[in-house]
Structure 1
Amino acid sequence: MSITADAPTATPRRRFQDVVRAYIALTKPRIIEQLLVTTIPAMLLAQRGIPSPWLVLATLVGGTLAAGSAGALNCVVDADIDAVMKRTSARPLVKHEVPVRNALVFGVVLGVVSCGFLWLTTNWVAAVLCVGAILFYVLVYTMLLKRRTSQNIVWGGIAGCMPVVIGWAAVTGDVGWPAFVLFGVIFFWTPPHSWALAMKFRDDYAKAGVPMLPAVATPRQVSFRIVLYSWAMVLCGLLLVPATSWIYALSAVVLGAVFLTAVHKLHNVYRRGGETNPMKVFHLSNTYLCAVFVMVAVDSAIGLPVTSLF
């Protein structure tokens, strides 16, 4: 009797959990993690110390909702190619776990709420930048660039750079030059990171008709561009030294040297016509970005600007 009575309540509960899980998956949580990792250090650098915990929380909540909005709307627009690519074939719209109309409404509502929330809890500058980031990711990258040019991720990556600017603006009400340097670091980081992943899934992109660079260029050409963007990323990061201390300066040099060594090894293998695993660079790029921004946060909390030492 007890088993029969419990059965009807167990199934709806599992279904509700599945629905919640599907909507969460629409927001692309892994991308949100990276955005939050870069936002907090930018806020600490803007404050040159520890900002108000409430301000940090409000900015993170608003940023999470904004990133979730962009991710959900991206899933709506890209549902057709997601169904073709093995890497994305398990997304909620492909598996019909969420109706397309519901996903569209969900994405729009998240975007409106995120921008309104940031306006009320931080300032109008952060809110406007938030709107711009969502629109750029959906309209410019997803709808205009992604299926038309091999440079899609280069310019489309601008949307992923916006959290550092939004975090800075939430603290100061404007955008200072260090925020643009952090923006540049992520801008130049995005192509090596994305192309290394795309090299593994180049057949997927080719099948879906998405001209991601590894799908339309040779591994040697791709790895050479990865080297160029990696050097630009490391050098851009060094521009932040005047606003930081020896803690960040030393870390940026060491971390940059490690990453540059890895991408040069990748290129040398392909230059000689060999084969290697590009995912090593992909994973290292995640470690590099996380470590650099962690050191920005540490430096901002305890370090003294290099200029103050002279």
Structure 2
Amino acid sequence: MISKTRMKWPNTRRRPMFRSRNLRNSLVICCPMRPSMSPVKTRPLRSIRRNNLFIFGNLMQTLKAYFTLTKPSIMLLVIITGGTALIMEGSLLQDPFRFVMALLAIYLTGGSANALNQCFEREIDAKMKRTAARRPLPLHTIGAASAFVFSIAIGVAGLAIFYYYFNAYSALLSLATILFYSLFYTLYLKPNTVQNIVIGGIAGSMSPVGAWVAATGQMAVDPWILFLIIFLWTPPHFWALALVYKDDYRLAKLPMMPVVKGDDSTYKQILIYTWLLVVASLALVINEQLGWVYILLAAALGMLYLQKTYQVMKNRTEPQLKGLFGYSIIYLFGLFAVIIADSLI
């Protein structure tokens, strides 16, 4: 009787030595690599590049924060005014290396004063919209301690350049300027008197005097005329901006002219200082330092400045105030550019 059970025939197919899913491991076992070819677990190249870019980006952001701490836009003006004095004096034009070193020392010492100012004012800057969104300490891009060390370091470097490459007189003058601005102006004048900008403008106007003393080791009339021009330019320049951001200053409890004296008084003060500035700009001709090319261009720049000031006083709009603030920068750069050109011709 034949069984109905299905008979199982043996599988005569040969099994492969390894399955495809174990191919890689089997190859490693069957074909061992030489020591130099041993498999190493490495991070993907794309991940390494991404990490390097992240590190580089953080480094650049930190360097930018330290650079911003020196207030580079203000320091550009300081460098130009100091460089103008060096060109008028003329002796360092024969020594380009020392000319550049003088400008570097001016930047480092001025940048130190600006950085110390921000260290001491970081809480005030955090309260004001204009500064809270722009300055590195309120943004916590760098720490206060690091900023303070940086401020001292670049100040010492600038003073050392003045002393080593030039003379002790220029180093002492620069040290006095740093202390006046970062301590006397920042901690006492600015929070206590409505004339803070006027008196504090002394520090910002010292660049031509310091540059001249570095080059010659002595004082002269010409750099003090440049000092006077910058000194008279500072109040109308800054008060135009203060009128726009007076609510910020009121919130920070800083006694700026528009906050304490009101808009009418501030506009009158802007006009008075602008007239004094235009007259002072012609003193270089009286001193026979510059010629008729300068007097014509300086008068044209000054008349346009006065015209814009009268327009702002009449209309009193924020766009015109910002326009006046912008033109004040163009005016000073243009005036010193004419001085440089007239001195070189």
The TM-score normalised by the length of structure 2 is 0.83
Q: CA deviation at 1:298?
A: 0.7
Q: Is the 8 A contact 1:44 1:301 kept in 2?
A: yes
Aligned-partner Cα distance in 2 for 1:27–1:197: 20
Aligned to 1:251: 297
- Higher radius of gyration, 1 or 2: 2
Cα 1:127/1:19, change in 2 over 3 Å: same
Q: Within the alignment, does 1:182 sit opposite 2:232 as a pair?
A: no
- Which protein, 1 or 2, shows the higher relative CO under an 8 Å CA cutoff with sep ≥ 6? 1
Aligned to 1:262: 308
Cα 1:51/1:224, change in 2 over 3 Å: farther
Q: CA deviation at 1:105?
A: 1.1
Cα 1:181/1:25, change in 2 over 3 Å: same
Matched residue count: 299
Q: CA deviation at 1:220?
A: 1.9
Q: Is the 8 A contact 1:50 1:301 kept in 2?
A: no
Mapping 1:82-161, distance limit 5 Å = 82-90=125-133, 91-161=135-205
Secondary structure of 1:96's aligned partner? coil
Shifted more, 240-249 versus 179-188: the winner is 240-249
Aligned-partner Cα distance in 2 for 1:195–1:110: 30
The one-letter code sitting in structure 1 at the alignment partner of 2:320 is N
The TM-score normalised by the length of structure 1 is 0.92
The one-letter code sitting in structure 2 at the alignment partner of 1:245 is G
Q: Is the 8 A contact 1:192 1:226 kept in 2?
A: yes
Provide runs of 4+ in structure 1 moved above 3 Å.
48-51
Gapped regions of structure 1 (runs ≥ 5) = 303-310
Q: CA deviation at 1:49?
A: 9.1
Q: Percent identity?
A: 36
Secondary structure of 1:174's aligned partner? coil
Q: Is the 8 A contact 1:44 1:51 kept in 2?
A: no
Q: CA deviation at 1:215?
A: 2.0
Aligned-partner Cα distance in 2 for 1:180–1:166: 10
Q: Within the alignment, does 1:221 sit opposite 2:265 as a pair?
A: yes
Secondary structure of 2:192's aligned partner? coil
Q: Within the alignment, does 1:60 sit opposite 2:106 as a pair?
A: no
Q: CA deviation at 1:4?
A: 2.4
The Cα RMSD (Å) is 1.6
The one-letter code sitting in structure 1 at the alignment partner of 2:261 is A
Shifted more, 6-15 versus 233-242: the winner is 6-15
Q: CA deviation at 1:275?
A: 7.1
Q: Is the 8 A contact 1:41 1:293 kept in 2?
A: yes
Aligned to 1:79: 122
Q: CA deviation at 1:92?
A: 1.1
Gapped regions of structure 2 (runs ≥ 5) = 1-43
Secondary structure of 2:137's aligned partner? coil
Q: Is the 8 A contact 1:58 1:122 kept in 2?
A: no
Aligned to 2:7: none
